[in-house]
Chains A and B, each alone.
Chain A
Amino acid sequence: MSLAALPQAGLARLGRAVLSALAELGRVAMFAGAVLSHVLRPPFYGRELFAQVIAIGWLSLPVVGMTALFTGGALALQIYSGGARFQAEFAVPSIVAIGMVRELGPVLGGLMVAARVASSIAAEVGTMKVTEQIDALVTLSTDPLKYLAVPRVVAATLAVPVLVGVGDVIGIMGGWLVGVNRLDFNSGSYLHNTAQYLETWDVMSGLFKGAAFGFIVALMGCYHGMNSGRGAQGVGRATKAAVVAASVLILAANYVLTEVFFSA
């Protein structure tokens, strides 16, 4: 290839990558549309939905709780030492609370759920695909999208906001523990400051974010699982792609939702 042709080849490669990314985006959007279109149409698989609420919500509680606890504690320390530069140590309780419920609770909770749940859904559904279990579902007159994807997506959309709410409380408690035991705050005034500056919308916006992140996590897990390649390597790739896509989309959605909720 001549030197003059190099920029053209690079441009062609870039064009192909952009087209491929747009095609993938279109496929994901169509998959999301198909899942949503099935949510309110029978048959409903209540037992599968309940099982997924337990698997996604209840069983994610320890990891989300631990994340929130340590994050709340670290946040209190950071704000205290940073705030000391301009004599704002008193703001620790309110900033920990606002930071947790608006941002860190939903985002870190979402990312932890992405790591735990998107990977497990993609691996499970991907394995079902490569072992012909999804074909078997079809031959048994059961729509795999309805039986596998809808319960998981609905369960995650319902369960993750609850996880975020619990994580918020635990995160604030982490800040309180550090504030009272390490930074010599008075317990009563710490809790009073937390409650005084926290508004209902702060909490609600975080819960809405949680619902959006739950939807993203389960959607990516199902999408990549159902499009898994052959063999162990195919399932491995699908699992990795699900976690990466869910994590990136959570961060992107977080920015968009923050713009929507708080840009005024």
Chain B
Amino acid sequence: MIRLDDVHKAFGANRVLKGVTLEVPRGQSLVVIGGSGTGKSVLLKCILGLVRPDRGLIQVDGRDVTLGDRDAFLARFGMLFQGGALFDSLRVWENVAFRLLRGPGKRPKAEARAIAIDKLRRVGLGEAVAELFPAELSGGMQKRVSLARAIAADPEIIFFDEPTTGLDPIMSGVINELIRDLVTEMGATAITITHDMTSVRAIADSVAMLHGGVVRWHGPVSALDSSGDAHVDQFIHGRADGPIATVR
């Protein structure tokens, strides 16, 4: 279980998180929604330790994330970054197998390559893609490679940061389906950040809306349309009028 308790984070005078409290049970898929700049990505980075919260407690399975063996902690995670964040200088298969080629879980090169190709196949990419460099791929293919990298070491917890941004509706549907299948098959705990309401409905077990630096609403995806919260209603229907200011 992932548990955040009163997490605060400011960048200079800009207070992004003002006391986020949230729980994600093991094996559940949570989608975090909210306007741009509301701190959704910062939230994920705080859990991973990429950004240090100013205040508050973050626990994974009851253990404070700031304590203990960092490598062992990070080995439990996979992350799909918004822009893919593939390493330009490495071939596709080397990107996917990055963790398998280094560190404590290091495998022989041939085995790591075979796993990478298997994961690429899992996200719908053929073996021919393995030898290409990321710059030779389309945006959708890069996202899928990044997804393959996120699941390469069979993580227990997977974060997806805007997995469908910049993709056409068909490719978005493919990615959503992949994420849902992967989470179900692997039994992983997942947190996804997205603005895409189709993705929300396809991926989520539960939804949390971040607004004003706090969790405004949190509930099952089935209750999203009847949340009774004006902020949630405005967001999910994409209305310009409502309590969320359009000029921020």
- A residues contacting B by CB (< 8 A) are 43, 128, 131-133, 135-136, 138-142
User: Per a CB cutoff under 8 Å, which of B77, B81, B88, B149 touches A132?
Assistant: B81
Contact residues in A for B107 (Cβ distance below 8 Å):
none
CB atoms of B87 and A141 under 8 A apart? no
CB atoms of A139 and B74 under 8 A apart? yes
Contact residues in A for B149 (Cβ distance below 8 Å):
140
* B105 CB, nearest partner CB in chain A, Å: 8
CB atoms of B103 and A139 under 8 A apart? no
CB atoms of B83 and A138 under 8 A apart? no
CB atoms of A135 and B71 under 8 A apart? no
CB atoms of A135 and B81 under 8 A apart? yes
Contact residues in B for A135 (Cβ distance below 8 Å):
45, 50, 81, 85
Contact residues in B for A140 (Cβ distance below 8 Å):
74, 98-99, 102, 149
CA distance A133 to B79 in the complex (A): 12
CA distance A138 to B49 in the complex (A): 9
CB atoms of A136 and B85 under 8 A apart? yes
Q: Residue among B49, B77, B79 with the most chain A CB within 10 A?
A: B79
User: Per a CB cutoff under 8 Å, which of B74, B88, B103 touches A138?
Assistant: B74
Q: Is B57 an interface residue (CB 8 A)?
A: no
* B98 CB, nearest partner CB in chain A, Å: 5
* A46 CB, nearest partner CB in chain B, Å: 12
CB atoms of A138 and B50 under 8 A apart? yes
Q: Is B227 an interface residue (CB 8 A)?
A: no
Specify the chain B residue showing the minimal Cβ separation from A48: B89
- Asked whether A132 and B102 contact (CB < 8 A) given A138-B48, A138-B50, A141-B74, the answer is no
Counting from the closest, the 6 A-B pairs by CB-CB distance are: A136-B85, A132-B85, A141-B74, A139-B79, A141-B71, A132-B81
CA distance A132 to B80 in the complex (A): 11
User: Per a CB cutoff under 8 Å, which of A43, A136, A141, A142 touches B81?
Assistant: A136
CB atoms of B103 and A142 under 8 A apart? yes
- Asked whether A132 and B99 contact (CB < 8 A) given A141-B71, A141-B74, the answer is no
CB atoms of A141 and B85 under 8 A apart? no
The interface size bin for chain B is: 20 to 34
CA distance A131 to B149 in the complex (A): 16
Q: Is B82 an interface residue (CB 8 A)?
A: yes
Specify the chain B residue showing the minimal Cβ separation from A142: B102
CA distance A131 to B90 in the complex (A): 15
Specify the chain B residue showing the minimal Cβ separation from A147: B102
Specify the chain A residue showing the minimal Cβ separation from B45: A135
Contact residues in A for B103 (Cβ distance below 8 Å):
43, 141-142
Q: List 16 A-B contacts (CB under 8 A).
A: A43-B102, A43-B103, A132-B81, A132-B82, A132-B83, A132-B85, A133-B86, A135-B85, A136-B79, A136-B87, A138-B74, A139-B48, A139-B78, A140-B99, A141-B71, A141-B102
Specify the chain B residue showing the minimal Cβ separation from A132: B85
* B146 CB, nearest partner CB in chain A, Å: 9
CA distance A142 to B149 in the complex (A): 14
CA distance A132 to B75 in the complex (A): 18
Specify the chain A residue showing the minimal Cβ separation from B83: A131
Additional A-B contacts beyond A135-B45, A135-B50 (12; CB < 8 A): A132-B85, A135-B85, A136-B79, A136-B87, A138-B48, A139-B74, A139-B77, A140-B74, A140-B102, A141-B70, A141-B99, A142-B102
Contact residues in B for A133 (Cβ distance below 8 Å):
85-88
Contact residues in A for B70 (Cβ distance below 8 Å):
141
* B68 CB, nearest partner CB in chain A, Å: 14
Contact residues in A for B99 (Cβ distance below 8 Å):
140-141
Contact digits for B21-56, partner A, Cβ 8 Å, 1 yes 0 no: 000000000000000000000000100111000000
* B15 CB, nearest partner CB in chain A, Å: 19
CA distance A21 to B189 in the complex (A): 46
CA distance A243 to B102 in the complex (A): 32
Contact residues in B for A141 (Cβ distance below 8 Å):
70-71, 74-75, 99, 102-104
* A5 CB, nearest partner CB in chain B, Å: 27
CA distance A139 to B78 in the complex (A): 7
Contact residues in A for B75 (Cβ distance below 8 Å):
141
Chain B stretch 83-122: residues in CB contact (< 8 A) with chain A: 83, 85-88, 98-99, 102-104
CA distance A105 to B75 in the complex (A): 48
Contact residues in A for B71 (Cβ distance below 8 Å):
141
Specify the chain B residue showing the minimal Cβ separation from A51: B89
Contact residues in B for A132 (Cβ distance below 8 Å):
81-83, 85
CA distance A145 to B87 in the complex (A): 16
Contact residues in A for B87 (Cβ distance below 8 Å):
128, 133, 136
Specify the chain A residue showing the minimal Cβ separation from B150: A139
CA distance A43 to B70 in the complex (A): 15
